[in-house]
Amino acid sequence: MPTVSESALIADLAAALPADRLTTDPDVLEGYAHDDAEWAEWSLPVCLVRPRTAEEVQLVVQACLRRGTAVVARGAGTGLSGGANALAGCVVISLERMDAVLEVDELERLAVVQPGVVNDHLRARVAEHGLWYPPDPASSPWSTIGGNVATNAGGVCCVKYGVTGDYVLGMQVVTGTGELVRLGRRTAKGVAGYDLTSLLVGSEGTLGIVTEITVRLRPTRPPEQTVAGFFASLTAAGEAVREVAAAGLTPSALELIDRNCLRAVDDWKSMGLSDEAEVVLLGRVDTPGAAGEQEAAALLAAFERGGATWADRSTDEAEGEALFAARRLAYPALERLGPVLTEDVCVPKGAVPEMLGRIENIGLANDVLVANIAHAGDGNLHPLIVVPADDAEARARAEKAFTEIIDAALALGGTVTGEHGVGLLKRDGLLAELSPAVVEMHRAVKTALDPAGILNPGKVVR
């Protein structure tokens, strides 16, 4: 049962909002109380609000300010760090109903969208205008632009085209003081004042709630060519990644999938991919014409220098799409085997072979199954630690391996998260990565923009 103060807050919100915006149904609340992060703690919120306008979001924040109640904003809940997890007594704001593409400007190559727009829906919409929105996280069929902004999401093509933050020109935000403000610009250039837009990107709802985003677009790109290579070990595939970088190549994708992932996909979808190699590297180039042919040949040669047991260019576009479909299916395929604790470390490209070897050894030392997928071209590795359900001992070993992988990445000059965000799972890792002075800078920014401390408290920096 809600406390007296919680009941008063619910009454405030019910009076201020249209009738269909607010729910306190426990069964509904549970579905909105956490993201997809395994073992990140969460609690039932006191209520859920699904607003349709920025002004409604503002009303919720203002009501919570008056009552001193925490507010947790969420998109589709596809996050993997616990960044959208609710805490007891909070209000969850789901932005899923704010899902309109408000404008596509072909001349300026930009779009204005609400935060609940699904990534793939935006890509399809702007494609009608001969334009392309590059950021493509594996969750793009379900994840929302607001959630992508919150974590500064990346994806398969970010090795060449960058992450979400590279495409955010401006935004509308409800601040921690309950104001509705606009940040950024619509112009191609602009350096007036501090770059508050970039500050909000990746802040995981701790500095403001984004209610509208203006994103940069690119022209539709040419068709891609796919190059595949099979390798006998993770470190051999890592050497090929280093060869690609040493050759000065910037492929439009360079993805790694190990046998554990391939076997899980085969068992699920019968794609017949796990019989040929321990590790597969998938590269793509999208440079048009003769230059693209030369780039594909150079990528193939780099795979061969790195020790590929087999490598070739695909001349069948459907075959290339099938290989990348297997890459996207790896995570849900592994989830069928048991809980998956997902890593997101990123290391310098030259350290990829060493890091892959360390991950393998950490899995063996802790007696846990570690499956590997990676945006290998930019050093963003996703070791997936799979454990049997309801096995407390295996869980403890998995959590130990999780910490050791973070420590190994930091030791090689890397970072604790390349694209998933800090949330709850990486807070200790962040404290290990940042100096005490920089941690205090984070806390000072949080205090300045959210003085009451109501916006997604406890996430990122404690």
DSSP 272: -
Q: Which tokens in the block code for residue 299? A: 């990528």
Long-range CB pairs of 286-294, under 8 A, 24+ apart, other chains included = 286/160, 286/221, 286/222, 286/223, 286/224, 286/225, 286/252, 287/222, 288/222, 292/222, 292/225, 293/225
CATH 3.30.465.10 is right for the domain spanning 101-219: yes
SS3 for 57-68 is HHHHHHHHHHHC
Contacts of 414 (CB under 8 A, 6+ apart): 345, 346, 347, 348, 351, 355, 379
Based on the number of CB atoms within 10 Å of its own CB, is 196 exposed (0-12), middle (13-18) or buried (19 or more)?
Answer: middle
Please report where in the chains the tokens 């051999």 appear, as a residue: 236
CATH 3.40.462.10 placement within the chain = 225-411
Q: In sequence order, what DSSP letters do the residues of 5-72 get, joined into one string?
A: HHHHHHHHHHHHS-GGGEE--HHHHHHTS--S-TT------SEEE--SSHHHHHHHHHHHHHHT--EE
Report pLDDT for 321. 81
Whether 48 contacts 29, CB under 8 Å: yes
Report pLDDT for 193. 96
Sheet holding 91-94: strands in order across?
A: 22-23, 47-49, 91-94, 71-74
Tally Cβ neighbours within 10 Å of residue 444.
10
CATH 3.30.465.10 placement within the chain = 101-219
Report pLDDT for 168. 98
SS3 for 381-396 is EEEEEECCCCCHHHHH
Contacts of 395 (CB under 8 A, 6+ apart): 39, 339, 387
Which residues, listed in sequence order, are joined to residue 94 by a DSSP beta bridge? 74
Report pLDDT for 267. 87
- Consecutive H or E run containing 103: strand 101-105
Please report where in the chains the tokens 């996909």 appear, as a residue: 265
CATH number of the domain located at residue range(s) 4-94 in this protein: 3.30.43.10
Q: Which tokens in the block code for residue 154? A: 């990346």
Q: In sequence order, what DSSP letters do the residues of 208-223 get, joined into one string?
A: EEEEEEEEE-EEPPPP
Q: In sequence order, what DSSP letters do the residues of 130-157 get, joined into one string?
A: TEE-----TTTTT-BHHHHHHHT---TT
Topology, domain 225-411: Vanillyl-alcohol Oxidase; Chain A, domain 3 (3.40.462)
Low-confidence ranges of the chain (pLDDT < 50): none
Output the CA torsion sign for 277, 324, 152, 29: negative
Report pLDDT for 273. 72
Give helix 392-411 / helix 352-365 axis angle, nearest 10°. Answer: 160
Beta strand segments in 297-361, E:
310-314, 340-342
Question: How many residues does the structure list for the chain?
Answer: 462
Q: How far is CA 292 from the centre of its chain?
A: 29
End-to-end Cα distance, the chain: 29
Q: Measuring CA to CA, how many Å separate 105 from each of 109, 167, 213, 264?
A: 6, 14, 14, 43
CATH 3.30.43.10 placement within the chain = 4-94
Contacts of 119 (CB under 8 A, 6+ apart): 133, 135, 136, 137, 139, 140, 141, 143, 144, 145, 148
Report pLDDT for 416. 98
Nearest-angstrom CA–CA distance, 74 and 72 = 7
Beta strand segments in 242-387, E:
253-258, 279-285, 310-314, 340-342, 369-375, 380-386
Report pLDDT for 327. 84
Nearest-angstrom CA–CA distance, 187 and 192 = 12
Q: For residue 88, which phi and psi values (nearest 5 degrees)? A: -55, 135
